[in-house]
A and B are shown apart, each in its own frame.
Chain A
């Protein structure tokens, strides 16, 4: 069974490495500041006892006050998983660092989130619309689109 790590287990190590990045940690997930996503993800991937080398998915949810990005990582060697969340409070031009350099599988998913939700990812090499055509106005998956 893939062991779903709780946020509290990882919090201590993260606070040591990146003080101030964790906003809240609960049993199911870990909430970090949006600017430190890349550093936290890099640490999670490269540290040997965590070793998260597989990114299951990136999802974006539109709660009316903020956008929430959900990442789930899995480690193939240790067979455990972790859910990482971050929030973005800017409605006009939300921006979050991209994790493409760590997991290439994030490439198409980040483009899709940019296309449908409007969150741009800094550091993404090719941030174009992927499912809709170039020149489409608006971001359909937002709650205020239609």
Chain B
């Protein structure tokens, strides 16, 4: 006698402790198994692209902070690179090195949150999350020394920076860089071979390699699926071709691989910061740039390897003080495309973990 069952629709989000922002998943469930899923977002749409058309080129920089609010320095960097490409503004050496140091520190901070939140979704009740935040506090203190802000820095400018770094920044950075690898090792010892984590995350939410390339994923999502594609190596921007670092890749494309890729990327970022600190020259931090920038008419696209993936800005200028069109290529939006395929057949608990392992920030998805 077969039991008659009926699938029901469950709304996960938009207000939910684990949806990393306001994201809604309309899941059709058969018992606990997801048989259909539809992502709904747009709850954080603020019209940044339209607002950018009404501000000066420098005035757009605070808007870009709020895209991926957990990695503001990277957003700033992508935007100022695009404007400098459009207007042909050179950047002094010291500013380039400082940009690399700040971008890599930001990558470590963002990955700490990503990994902590992923383990929180797995159910480890804030313990790894709080350990990650303890280290992130040190990075945020460094950023506060430099820009005065803890989250939305608004520090990079077109042509460099407005102010040089304070004297106490480099010794504090040195201390951090020497302590951090030991912490990552301790954290690896606690969690990398944990039976329950392996049972929850290994083989769950597999994104096959061809699908990853087809949905134009980028960042740890793409590299976790085995594709060796990192913008810092294939299309180096700023001065990344002067540093030696490896690109960690996964093999299976499951949640565990994405998590491992992020942990190892943190180590590689520390390597880059060490090299940059040694080579840091002295000099000006900003080239001569007028207050109101009038780039010549034209267009430019600049992309960087942000912590979440390939963040790009496509700018069109018509020789006025504001961009004519500013289009933002958001990595989180592209990485979300295959969410439905990754989730079908798994249970709700896995759905939360799969969503957490892609690591999106709704500020980018919705703009």
Contacts and interface: CB of A to CB of B under 8 A. Distances in A.
Physical contact A–B (CB less than 8 Å): yes
Interface of A: 1-2, 53-57, 59-62, 70, 72, 76, 79, 83, 103-109, 112, 116, 129-133, 140-141
A44 B360 CA distance: 31
A108 B39 CA distance: 11
A57 B314 contact: yes
B303 interface: yes
A61 B50 CA distance: 11
Given A2-B234, A141-B50, A61 B324 contact: yes
B312 interface: yes
10 contacts: A2-B235, A54-B213, A56-B216, A56-B312, A56-B329, A76-B229, A104-B337, A106-B216, A130-B42, A131-B42
A7 to B, nearest CB: 14
Contacts of B301: 56-57, 72, 83
Interface string B35-66: 00000011001010110000000000000000
A103 B214 contact: yes
A132 B234 contact: no
Contacts of B234: 2, 79
A108 B333 CA distance: 7
Nearest to A102: B214
Contacts of A60: 327
Given A59-B327, A76-B213, A109-B333, A104 B338 contact: yes
Contact of A140 (B47, B214, B329): B47
Contacts of B47: 140
Nearest to B325: A61
B334 A105 contact: yes
A59 B314 contact: yes
B310 interface: yes
A104 B314 contact: no
B236 interface: yes
A30 B27 CA distance: 42
A2 B310 CA distance: 14
A131 B312 contact: no
The 5 closest A-B pairs by CB, nearest first: A105-B216, A59-B327, A2-B235, A131-B42, A57-B329
Nearest to A60: B327
Nearest to B45: A131
Contact of A57 (B213, B236, B327, B336): B327
A76 B216 contact: no
Given A2-B234, A131-B366, A140-B50, A108 B337 contact: yes
Contacts of B170: none
A10 to B, nearest CB: 18
A144 to B, nearest CB: 12
Contact of A70 (B227, B314, B337): B314
Contacts of B217: 105
